[in-house]
Amino acid sequence: MKNVFGFLISVALGIFIILALANTDAFPAFGDVDLTERISNAYLDINNVEQVGSANLVTAIVVGYRGFDTLGEVTVLFISALGVAFIFGGVKQKRLDLDFKPNFMLRVGSNILFGIILVTSFYIILHGHLTPGGGFPGGAIIASAVLLLYLADDRFRSNVKGFKVLEGVAGSIFVVIGLLGLVFATAFLENFLPAGTVGNLISAGIIPVIYVLIGLKVGSEIAGIVDNFLTEEESA
Amino acid sequence: MEIASYVFLIIGGLFFLLGGLGVLRMPDTFNRIQAGTKATTLGAFSTMIGVGFAAAASGNWDWISKVIIIIIFIVISNPVGSSAIAKATYNSKNIPDNLVQDDLKSRGESK
């Protein structure tokens, strides 16, 4: 009964959405859009690319033109991490016991691999304005390194407090940089550093700085979620 | 430099081929694991060196350092991962009948 009801609701909602979107001016028919009038065309303009200075166009849009959206995106991740911590967190936590006992080779090997994975993630974060990648994938790689240690080392427990401090500091500096844009330039999160040459490591103004902050924030948030899932409240 | 890179690439491809053959032809899990691991470790190793040399031949010397990091990653992760798989195989009692010596059992470390 419940399933039938849910099915009917979703079908009705789908018909409603289709009817609401058809024949309106806000959503022209497929193929009728003139792309030269759209704002995305301005993002592809070579003059604008040189003004932003980011070789990776996706990064130029995500952090350069739409930095405020990215701030919201980071906030969404923060809130979801907060929700997980609200449900799974507690005062005294101990890590879950693994079903198997990792042997010596697995433990030591993963500890060595941890460093290499961190190097890779920082490379991806630092080159976010030059190559595909950036703060979000780099942060996810940091968290995956933490997850690897959790699974391969039965005594490992991540420094949760350090992660929380790192996350808060990175998020605050992100907002402070946005406010500095308001001070030195005209708008929130506007680029106030020189753009430099396209393709250099130190270029694109505040984009690499913000991406490093996003990488640290995303990495510590997802590592915190991993920690929340792999710990349980200590039975008193 | 270019010729050296081709030589390394061909060696790497050959070892990948042997590794694939080994996985197909070996009789039981442990033999398949060792064929897959040893051959592909060396295969990836020399393929990466070949790629690094090929990039260096066209002037991109910075590829060498990235290739070295990738090689270190593969050289550590491949044996560690396959040892974990082998241990899991052992723990799941999926042991071939013709096993001659069982060190884990004689040392009392089996699960």
- Structure pTM? 0.74
B106 occurs within a structural domain: no
Q: ipTM higher than 0.90?
A: no
The DSSP line for A99-151 is SS---HHHHHHHHHHHHHHHHHHHHHHHTTTTSS--HHHHHHHHHHHHHHHHH
- Which amino acid is present at B26? M
The larger pLDDT score, comparing residue A158 to residue B77, is at B77
- Residue B36 included in any domain: yes
B109 assigned to some structural domain: no
Q: Which domain holds residue B20?
A: 2-94
**Pairwise CB contact (< 8 Å): A116 & B69:** yes
Judged against a pLDDT cut of 90, whether residue A12 lies above it is answered with yes
**Which residues 6+ apart lie within 8 Å of B34 measured at CB?**
B82
Does a structural domain hold residue B108? no
pLDDT band at A7 (very low <50, low <70, confident <90, very high): very high
Q: Per-residue pLDDT averaged across A177-187, rounded?
A: 79
Q: What is the mean pLDDT of chain A?
A: 81
> What element of type H or E holds A18?
helix A2-21
Chain A CB contacts of B88 below 8 Å = 100
> Could B73 and A103 be called an inter-chain contact, meaning their C-beta atoms sit closer than 8 Å?
no
Q: Where are the domains of chain A?
A: 55-233
- Domain membership of residue B100 (yes or no) is no
Note whether B31 and B4 are within 8 A (CB).
Answer: no
Q: How confident is the model at residue A120 (pLDDT cuts 50, 70, 90)?
A: confident
Is 90 exceeded by the pLDDT of residue A44?
no
Residue A202 distance to chain B (closest CA, Å):
17
Q: Which residues of A touch B72 (CB under 8 A)?
A: 116
* pLDDT above 70: percentage of residues in chain B: 95
Structural domain contains residue B23: yes
Instruction: Assess if residue B76 is contained within a domain.
Output: yes
* pLDDT, tens digit (0-9, with 9 covering 90-100), for A185-212: 777 777 777 777 777 777 777 888 888 8
| Dist. CA B30–CA B97, nearest whole Å | 12
pLDDT at A235: 64
Structural domain count of chain B: 1
